[in-house]
Structure 1
């Protein structure tokens, strides 16, 4: 426990906590959108389950750190000269799943007239089914962030502590993010478009043995912030125009 409060460990803890939150932004958006399909009285329970499951999944992966370091990038099979590992397969599956679910959500939003049906479908799909989808996506992002975190900290207890703190912070702000997006349909479409970029990024990274390239996630987050900033400016401009009209 003393190692947790050393200067180096505290720096690692702070860095990893920020890393988990930044890497979890796309996850929080996806969670907020899916939870929005549930009845309002189930939102809090869904977020609690998501937080607890996120902590357990990440902690489990970190406890198996030795196995991940040894086998996470170990080639399972090869197609020609391309060798694929467990990490590659999980990223490919996660990217395809995220692309499918996001395009499905965009289709339902743009079709119009199906909003209530979508909510009822989400309820009919069962609370457990939606939570399974959330946990599946969270597991994908957990695997990716845990492997990234291996080089930032040496003690597993530091990593697990950072995960717990990050998940608690995201839990408390997830409802704020959800309400903010749900009040602004354009932002919801932008968020979904951002998730398409994330899904493609995961798929692209999973196919790394073929193209030997990498997409820096900083570009994706910059694109998201820039697009959201433009939309916020548009929203402010519309409010000013409406207030001028009402003033007349």
Structure 2
């Protein structure tokens, strides 16, 4: 574990340090989008709005704590790239195993949610029959599990972008703060529009597949994923606007 007393805060007063901080913060926010989508969907499964907010805030706070702890344990994080186990002559590192398990978990959760939507019922109800309600504790546990996966990817990116621990930690804290402010609005928007929620679930399937693929040793350029997500969101926004205009015209016609 890194000694906190050895951190150099003077770098934050240099132009290089400020530029690095702004760049890394922006990158961390982009990398945190998939985390926000997952937290929004899983927290909306709670029946009480106050618990939904609590789950989102606790989930993002835990994400920040996990990232900071990983940054303070850089030597251990970097060792995760070393071969950990060999299966059918293919070596898997600790990072590969985390990405593989996390990707499979995301695929499972997204598939279950999509199935519930396609069948025309929420997870709490199935044709009028009451199902077991999710608890705040259960939701938090799931958020913690996926936070570990997203945090590992985020920290490794931060290490590749900067050599200063102070900049990395501050960038993570600012990024999570921004995500906390945006999470509520994103969560409400996703829950309000059924097609947007289905699109978000499709994103989770795509992200899960990307994590599994990377866990198997095949690198995927994240820019392709972000471009696909951005393009899909633009198309969905056009669809929402078209439906809203159609409703307004029908209302005026009546």
Using structure 2 for the length normalisation, give the TM-score: 0.90
Match of 1:168 in 2: 177
* Number of residue-to-residue matches in the alignment: 241
How far apart, in 1, do the equivalents of 2:22 and 2:131 lie? 41
Partners of 1:126 and 1:19 lie apart in 2 by 33
Tell me the residue number matched to 2:83: 75
Runs of 5+ unmatched residues, structure 1: none
Equivalence for 2:94? 86
Where in structure 2 are the equivalents of 1:217-236 lying within 5 Å? 217-236=222-241
Distance 1:238 1:126, change over 3 A: closer
- Structure 2 match to 1:95: 103
CA shift in 2, pair 1:59/1:116, >3 Å: same
Is this contact kept in 2: 1:106–1:189, CA < 8 A? Answer: yes
1:1-248 correspondence to structure 2 within 5 Å? 1-38=9-46, 39-69=48-78, 71-114=79-122, 116-117=124-125, 124-208=133-217, 213-248=218-253
- Segments of structure 2 that go 5 or more residues without pairing to the other structure are 1-8
* Rounded Cα–Cα distance in structure 1 between residues aligned with 2:168 and 2:71: 7
Calculate the aligned-residue CA RMSD, in Å: 1.6
Residue pair 1:9, 1:153 contacting (<8 A) in 2 also = no
User: How many angstroms apart in 2 are the aligned matches of 1:240 and 1:26?
Assistant: 30
1:238 to 1:16, Cα distance in 2 relative to 1, 3 A: same
Deviates more, 1:167-176 or 1:47-56: 47-56
Shift of 1:81: 3.5
Secondary structure of 1:161's partner?
A: helix
Change (3 A) 1:154 1:101: same
Q: Distance in 1 between matches of 2:59 and 2:215?
A: 25
Question: Residue 84 of structure 1: SS of its match in structure 2?
Answer: strand
Residue 237 of structure 1: CA displacement?
A: 1.5
State how far apart, in whole Å, the 2-side matches of 1:239 and 1:29 are. Answer: 24
Paired residues of 1:75 and 1:84 also in contact (CA < 8 A): yes
Q: 1:16 to 1:244 in 2, by over 3 A?
A: same
Contact 1:73–1:86 under 8 Å retained in 2: yes
| CA distance, structure 1, for counterparts of residue 248 and residue 60 of structure 2 | 41
| 1:11 Cα deviation after fit | 1.5
Give 1:113 shift. 3.3
2:44–2:52 contact (8 Å) kept in structure 1: yes
